[in-house]
Structure 1
Amino acid sequence: MAISFYKYQGTGNDFVMVDNRKLAFPASDESFIKRLCDRRIGIGADGLILLQDHADYDFEMVYFNADGRLGSMCGNGARCTVRFARALGVIEDVACFLAADGEHQASVERDLIQLKMNEVKGVEQIGEDYFLNTGSPHYIRFVDDVENLDVYEEGRAIRYNDRFKAEGTNVNFVQRLSDSEVFVRTYERGVEDETLSCGTGVTAAALVAGMLGMQSPIKVKTLGGNLEVAFEQVDEGFKSIYLIGPAKQVFTGSVSL
């Protein structure tokens, strides 16, 4: 039996997308999902996403990390899923869907997908660094020269330190480029390497930058392209958070089970 798949990317964060409305995909087979995401023996992706029917929403997004395990919220993956849903005719220009961290709304505006993220309550300061959850856990460290940083080694050291090694965390290194723009590079748990972009990480970095004085919206440069994060800061955290950027289909294919 063969299953059709679609490859999508959002600022270089790439995903294998499967229309699983008939529930034919073997979602419990971690080794199969891991193989599909492998860049040498599979399709190659930072993660795999199933689009499924849901009685109360336009669709449900089920996200798996590249290691084959169920993942938490993925911002770039969600934007790609919205684009995928539109291509399938599941939605038109607006969507209300279910993800790992609950309900999300999104809109399609030409090349851009505007995704509403959940509210963030509380940012923990750890020395000069920060920790918060934007649907996935994120560690934020500001640096002077992010372009020449060894993100793999430094990110891995934080991800596997005594505090985070059990559950894991994503690690973001952030450089302020101007009063309105930051440059973010991310080590992602589940991928266990740097990715070209991370939507929840970009969001986390922008929120901390806002907490430190930058004004919304904040432009974010990543290795895979440019995003924008808009938000409102309130006493207990942040609300009306939007992750805005492109999401595109790369190619389609089929794979045997």
Structure 2
Amino acid sequence: MIHFYKYQGTGNDFVIIDNRDKSFNGANTELVRFLCDRRFGVGGDGLMLLEEHDKYDFTMRYFNSDGNEASMCGNGGRCIAAFAVHQGIIKNTEHFSFMAIDGLHEASYSNNIVSIKMIDVNSIDKQKEYTFLNTGSPHYVEFTDDIDNLNVKEKGIKVRHSDTFKPDGTNANFVSFIKNDTLKVRTFERGVEDETLACGTGVVASAIAAYEKNKSVSDYKIKVLGGELRVSFETDDNNSYKNIWLEGPATFVFEGKIKV
């Protein structure tokens, strides 16, 4: 029996397992894929393991729904931070820290709103049609005036598998300005291989790409299919971005046990 918890952050949903006792084998790709399956398993965009860390509050390990251990997931990071608070692992909810595949993240929690500090961004590839950058995961960002009618899955698959981003592929974000400080973002996620209701690293990439266009706003409200997020950051003349924060709700859905 596997004891699991289900969380969601603006519709990005995850299976979370407390693996401090190392009882769950993350190398079992088939098992991870089964647990993420919405018909036969628990269902989720991904699965996370909370594990011990000798210096920080915990370690986050993230797996895509295809079963493979993956790069950083921003909304996943917010959800596992809320999970750690709910489990009593965190004593100071105003400031704590955890290790993920892309490095150290600071976090805070208040009334189901979680803020996490993302990695610095020091390299941005600006092309005529798109911007490409890594915010813990690789992201293609394209601005569009017709975001509501866009077939995100169809276009996202083409970008994800294009020769430009081989061999690992990329996530693809499509963005519209609602106001100068408000964006609407839709994301195709690799590993999920579909559009998701939200993507944390994707909205961070989209906010930075938006700043690259207008150089005026460094604190964005971002509307996604699953709700609203906030991204803020600091930048300098060298196009280096630091003190990047992703903020939004992280909600416990249910817990249970499943026999495998």
The TM tier, using the shorter chain, reads: over 0.9
- 1:190 alignment partner in structure 2: 191
- Displacement of 1:153 in angstroms is 0.3
- 1:20-169 to 2 correspondences below 5 Å: 20-92=19-91, 93=93, 94-169=95-170
Q: Shift of residue 126 of structure 1?
A: 2.5
Which 4+ runs in 1 deviate beyond 6 A? Answer: none
Aligned length: 256
Aligned to 1:228: 230
Structure 1 counterpart of 2:245:
242
C-alpha separation in 1, matches of 2:191 and 2:217 = 32
Structure 1 residues 173-184: aligned runs within 5 Å: 173-184=174-185
Aligned residue type for 2:51: Q
Q: Partner letter of residue 255 of structure 2?
A: T
Letter in 1 for 2:111: R
Q: State the Cα distance separating 1:142 from its structure 2 match.
A: 0.1
Partner SS, residue 164 of structure 2: coil
- Give the structure-1-normalised TM-score: 0.98
Segments of structure 2 that go 5 or more residues without pairing to the other structure are none
Of all paired residues, the percent bearing the same amino acid is: 50
Q: Could you tell me how far 1:165 is from its partner in structure 2? A: 3.8
- Cα deviation for residue 27 of structure 1 reads 1.1
Instruction: Return the offset for 1:46.
Output: 0.3
Q: Residues 209-238 of structure 1: CA distance to partner in whole angstroms, max 9, x if unpaired?
A: 112124121000000000000001112420
Q: Structure 1 stretch 109-118 or stretch 48-57: which is displaced more?
A: 109-118
| 1:144 counterpart letter in structure 2 | D
- Give the Cα–Cα distance (whole angstroms) in 2 for the partners of residues 197 and 236 of structure 1: 26
Distance in structure 2 (CA, Å) of the matches to 1:57 and 1:232: 25
- In structure 2, C-alpha distance between the alignment counterparts of 1:198 and 1:53, rounded to whole Å: 26
Worse overlay, 57-66 or 122-131: 122-131
In structure 1, distance between residues paired with 2:161 and 2:218: 32
Do the aligned partners of 2:8 and 2:252 also contact (CA within 8 Å) in 1?
yes
Counterpart AA for 2:110: E
The answer for the alignment partner of 1:205 in structure 2 is: 206
- Specify which structure has the higher proportion of strand: 1
Q: Aligned partners of 1:36 and 1:111: how far apart in 2?
A: 25
Structure 1, unaligned runs of 5 or more:
none
Alignment RMSD, CA only? 0.9
Query: C-alpha distance in 2, partners of 1:25/1:7?
Result: 16
Deviations 1:135-185 (A, max 9, x none): 000000000011110000001001011122420100000001111100000
Other structure's SS at 2:165 match: coil
Distance of 1:200 and 1:231 partners within structure 2: 13
TM-score by length of 2: 0.97
Asked if the contact 2:82/2:112 (under 8 Å) is kept, the reply is no
Q: Deviations over 1:70-91 (max 9, x none)?
A: 0100000000000000011110
